[in-house]
Amino acid sequence: MPMKTRQGAALERKKFFADPAMVTTIALLAVLLALFILYPLAMLLMDSVHVQETETILLETVLSGDADIKYETDESGRKSVRVLDSKNKENLIALDDLTGAYGSLFVKNGRAIRDGDTIDPAKTYIKFDKNYWTLDAFPRIFKDYTFNNAFFNTLKLGMITSFGAVIVGLLFAYVDCYVSVKSRIIKKMFDVVSTLPVVSPPFVLSLSMILLFGRGGLITRKLLGIYDSDVYGLSGIAIVQILTFFPVCYMMLKGLLKNIDPSMEEASRDMGASRWKVFTTVTLPLMLPGLGNAFLVTFIESVADFANPMMIGGSYDTLATTIYLRITGGSYDTTGAAAMAVVLLSITLVLFLIQKYYLEAKTAATLTGKASRARVAITDNSVRIPLTTICSVISAFVILMYIAIPFGALFKLWGRDYSLSLKWFEQLFRDDGFKAFKDSFILSIIAAPITALLSMIISYLVVKKKFHGRGAIEFISMLAMAVPGTVLGVGFIRGFARGVFRTGLLQGIYGSGLILVIVFVIRSLPVGTRSGISALRQIDKSIEESAYDLGAGSTKVFTSVTLPLIKDSFLSGLVTTFVRSITAISAIILLVTPRYLLITCRINEFAEKGAYGVACAYATILIAIVYAAILLMNLCIKYMGTSRRTKVKEID
C-alpha cells in the first residue's frame, strides 16, 4: 500500500490557517524580510547587470535597417520602430512615416523638431529607449584601477586582520582556560578588554590610534620624538581591526577550549608528550574547525568594516570605502558602484555560507562532549610568565587607547597644548551636538524594541513552529549578518530612492527617519535572532505544548509563556540593538539626510577635518551612553530576569 501523508498535511494546513494571528505574523514577516533585505540586494544585483538608458541614433542609420535596435512590424504589416518623443513616451512608428512631419518626435542638434522643419536623415537623430541585460560592468570594473586596487587591498587586509585576530584571540583564550593567572588585576583586565571593543563605537580605536601614534601623536612625537610617523594605511587599519575583532575570536575560542575534555590532554601527557606536543597534537587539531570559524567571522567583519578604513586608511582604499566614494563622489557610475557592491557582497556571502553550513557543523561534530571535570591549570613559570606578559601588554595597550579618547576631548590642542579645558565640549554643544545626540538617541531607541520583539518572534517561529518557508525566514534574517553595511546602504538607495521597483511606491520613506530605523533593525536582527534561537532551543517544547493544550492560542502562548521565559534574551536584544544602532555608521552614512544629524557621522566629519578635539568629545559622550545602557541591562537582568531553569532537580 502506498504511504500517503496527504491527509496529515492537509490537517496541519487546516490547523495552521485556523490560527489567523500566526498566519498574519508570518505573512507580515515574510513581506518585511523580502522588502528590506532581499529586495534591496536583488535591485543591486539587477543594477549591476541591467542597463536602462536612452540613446539617440542617426535617422539615416535607422532607416537603413542596420541600427542596433529592435525592428517590429505594426498592425498594417510595415516595418516599424519604437521611438521616444520629447516627453520620453514610446511610440510605434513605421519606417516610412519617420521622414514625415511628426511634431516633437525627432531630435535635431539636441532639440525636438517642430512641424515645418525640414528633416534631413543624415543630420537628424531619433531617441530610443535602451533596456538590456549585460555582464559588461564586471569586466569593466575589474579593469578599473581604483576598483582593482581596492579589491586586493580588501582581501589583503582581511587576511592580515583575521590571522592577527585569531592568534591574539587564541592566546587570550589559552591563557584564560589553561594558565593559572593569580593576579586578580590581570584577570579583571582580561574581562574589560574582551568586552570593550565589542561594544564601543567602531572608530574609537582608529581615533585614538591617530592621537597616540599619528604625526602629532602623543607617543610617537612627544615621547619618542618621531616626526614623520605614518599610521595611515594598511598597518594602521590592520592594528586597529585586530584590536577591534580579536575579542570576538577570544570569546568563540574560549567556548571551544572549555568543551575540550582535559582527560584527552592528560592522556597525551601521560604517554610522554610535552606541553607543546600536547598543544600541537591534541588541542590544536581539535580546535581547527573552530579556528577556521573564528577566522572567517573576522574576515567577514574586516571586509565589511567601513569606519576604520575611512578614518585611518589614508590612501589605502578598501571596497567599502571605494563604493562609498563612488556613490557620494558624484562620478555617477551607478552600474559600476552596484557591480562593486555585488562583488563585496559575494565575498562576504560565500564566506558566510562556508562558515555557517560547513564549519559550524564541523565544530559541533568534533567537540560534542562536555568537559568531564575542571582542568588543572598550568603553573609552570616558563609557560605562565611569557604568555601572561604578552596578554597583559596587549590589554594595557587597548585600555590606553580608550583612555586617550576622553583626554583627547579634554586637552586644549592635541599635539601642542596639553592643558585641560572643556572647550571642545562647549563647542560641541554650541554647535548642533545636542541635536545629534537627540536624533541618534531617538532613532536608536525606536529601533531597539522593534528589533528585540521581531527577533524573538522570528526565533519562536523558527524553533517552535512547523510551516513552509520556516528555513527561508531563518536564513534571510541571518543573511543580514553577511551583508556589509555599505552594500545594504547602496541597496537601499537603489531600491527606494525612486520607490519600490522605481514606481514611486514607498518613496516617502527614502530620506526619512523611518528608513534609518529600518536599517538599524535589519542590521541588528541577526544578533537578536541568534540569541533568541539559542535561548529557545533550551526550553522544553512541552512547556509550550501544555499551554496550547490548556486552551491558549499561539499569540497567548507567545506572550504568556515563551516571551517571559526568554526575557533575558529579549532584554539583551533590546540593549544590543540600541548600542549597535547608536554606534552604526556604514549603511547609515549613505542614507542619512541633513534632516537628521547622527553622532557617528558627526565624529566621522570632524575627524576627516582634523578636528580631533570635537570628535573625541562626541566619542566620549557616546561611549558613556553605551556603557550606561549596558549597565542598565545588566541590572535589569539581575533583578528582573528569569533564572531560565526549566528542568529542575529533585529536592528531596
Binding residues vs another protein (CB under 8 A): 3-9, 11-12, 14-15, 18-19, 540, 542-543, 545-553, 556, 560-561, 564-565, 642-643, 645-648, 650-652
| Mode of pairing for the β-strands spanning 90-94 and 111-112 | unpaired
Long-range contacts, stretch 362-370, CB < 8 angstroms, 24+ apart: 362/289, 363/256, 363/289, 363/290, 363/293, 366/286, 366/288, 366/289, 367/256, 367/259, 367/260, 367/286, 367/290, 369/259, 369/261, 370/259, 370/261
Closer residue to another protein in complex, CB, 328/560: 560
Q: Closest distance between another protein and the C-beta of residue 360, in Å?
A: 19
Size (the chain), residues = 652
Q: Closest distance between another protein and the C-beta of residue 5, in Å?
A: 5
Backbone angles phi, psi at 553, to 5 degrees: -80, 175
Closer residue to another protein in complex, CB, 66/650: 650
Q: Outline where DSSP puts E strands in 47-186.
A: 50-58, 72-73, 79-84, 90-94, 106-108, 111-112, 125-133
Separation of alpha carbons 127 and 207, rounded Å = 52
387 forms beta bridges with: none
Q: Closest distance between another protein and the C-beta of residue 637, in Å?
A: 14
Closer residue to another protein in complex, CB, 7/76: 7
Q: Closest distance between another protein and the C-beta of residue 527, in Å?
A: 24
CA distances from 128 to 56, 64, 95, 114 (A): 6, 16, 14, 18
Closer residue to another protein in complex, CB, 252/557: 557
Q: Closest distance between another protein and the C-beta of residue 487, in Å?
A: 37
For 480-512, where are the alpha helices, taking DSSP H only?
485-496
Q: Closest distance between another protein and the C-beta of residue 566, in Å?
A: 10
Closer residue to another protein in complex, CB, 394/547: 547
Residue among 239, 202, 4 nearest 607 (CA): 202
For 65-106, where are the alpha helices, taking DSSP H only?
95-98
Closer residue to another protein in complex, CB, 1/185: 1
Q: Closest distance between another protein and the C-beta of residue 547, in Å?
A: 7
38, three cell numbers: 532581499
Closer residue to another protein in complex, CB, 14/87: 14
Closer residue to another protein in complex, CB, 274/538: 538
Separation of alpha carbons 220 and 211, rounded Å = 9
| 3-state SS, residue 493 | helix
Q: Closest distance between another protein and the C-beta of residue 459, in Å?
A: 17
Element (H, E) at 584: none
535 forms beta bridges with: none
| 3-state SS, residue 582 | helix
Element (H, E) at 405: helix 381-410
Separation of alpha carbons 466 and 455, rounded Å = 17
Q: Closest distance between another protein and the C-beta of residue 449, in Å?
A: 20
Separation of alpha carbons 295 and 307, rounded Å = 20
Q: Closest distance between another protein and the C-beta of residue 545, in Å?
A: 6
Closer residue to another protein in complex, CB, 3/122: 3
Closer residue to another protein in complex, CB, 509/563: 563
Closer residue to another protein in complex, CB, 16/510: 16
Q: Closest distance between another protein and the C-beta of residue 361, in Å?
A: 15
58 forms beta bridges with: 125
Judge whether 485 and 585 are in contact, CB under 8 Å.
yes
Closer residue to another protein in complex, CB, 272/551: 551
Closer residue to another protein in complex, CB, 14/89: 14
Residue among 516, 569, 607, 515 nearest 231 (CA): 607
Q: Closest distance between another protein and the C-beta of residue 369, in Å?
A: 22
Separation of alpha carbons 600 and 588, rounded Å = 9
Closer residue to another protein in complex, CB, 200/562: 562
Q: What angle do CA 24, 29, 34 make, to 5 degrees?
A: 130
Separation of alpha carbons 366 and 257, rounded Å = 12
Backbone angles phi, psi at 265, to 5 degrees: -70, -35
Q: Closest distance between another protein and the C-beta of residue 548, in Å?
A: 4
Q: Closest distance between another protein and the C-beta of residue 538, in Å?
A: 12
Residue among 476, 470, 477, 483 nearest 532 (CA): 477
Residue among 70, 113, 105 nearest 84 (CA): 105
Judge whether 160 and 235 are in contact, CB under 8 Å.
no
Q: Closest distance between another protein and the C-beta of residue 20, in Å?
A: 12
